[in-house]
Structure 1
Amino acid sequence: MPAPRSFDYAIIRIVPRVERQEFLNVGVVVFSRTGHFLEVKIDYELARLAAFAPGCELEMVRAQLRAVETVCRGGAEAGYFGTLSQSERFNWLVAPSSTIIQASPVHSGLA
């Protein structure tokens, strides 16, 4: 049996009105330094968001979520962020933010 590997993860949230502290979970970003793994999964079905926050610009939200995926993947398409290590990209993605796209506190686990 292989030894368990540690990983960190954070939930990706849409926070349409920061002052109300209400959010909708739409994805997860997972990082394992020992597993050389960084990936994000996002649910682009935003019908719940339309009901939760009428008037929210869904295409703008989708564009920002795609940017999260681009930074996570790295490479030339991500510009400067594409040159960063997986660890640095994860830390940037989960850093506290006051924008409409935010990450939960980071949690750890073993797999």
Structure 2
Amino acid sequence: MPHAFEYALLRAVPRQERGESMNVGVLLYCADKKFLHCRTHVDENRLRALDPRIDMDLLRDSLRLWCGACDGSTTAPITETTLGQRFRWLTAPKSTLLQTSPAHTGFTEDPQRELDHLWETLVATVG
């Protein structure tokens, strides 16, 4: 039986004023399965083409905190909220190095498989 899910892309935005971004991850939330996870990948060479001075350490730390908010591995207070509240907080518009796309919806029987598919299709670099 398929379950409704929501997902959003994680985007690195090295320079706000240029409006350029690169997909660096995906968040997937499925309330029925109590599932909120993220999967990330940073292609440093592609990002440096957008901004040679990008702070990669800051980006990696931000991604680690966002994924920790999803799986509960961070000690941040956000982990005391529901999974739905966390997803809404993470996908709220921000003007920072790490932003999300608007949330999209779908149906799946296996949220982990869906997350892997979205990551492979929308984030992973080819070749």
TM-score scaled to structure 1, two decimals? 0.91
Identity of aligned residues (%): 36
Q: Which amino acid aligns with 1:5?
A: H
Matches of 1:13 and 1:57, distance apart in 2: 14
Note the alpha carbon deviations across 1:16-35, whole angstroms, 9 max, x for none. 11122110001000000111
Question: Does 2:103 correspond to 1:106?
Answer: yes
Q: Alignment partner for residue 46 of structure 2, among 12, 26, 48?
A: 48
Q: Which runs of 5+ in 1 are unaligned?
A: none
5 Å-filtered alignment, 1:13-24, equals 13-24=11-22
Moved beyond 3 Å, runs of 4+: none
Which range is displaced more, 5-14 or 46-55? 46-55
Contact 2:20 2:50 in 1 (8 A): no
Equivalent position amino acid for 2:28 in 1: V
Which stretch of the first structure deviates more once superposed, 56-65 or 4-13? 56-65
Pairs aligned (count)? 108
Counterpart CA distance in 2 for 1:78 and 1:107 is 28
Give the aligned CA root-mean-square deviation in angstroms.
Answer: 1.2
**Paired residues for 1:1-111 under 5 Å:** 3-74=1-72, 77-111=74-108
| TM-score (normalizing by structure 2) | 0.80
Q: Deviations over 1:44-93 (max 9, x none)?
A: 34221122211111111111111111111125x33211111111111111
Q: 2 CA distance for matches of 1:92 and 1:5? A: 22
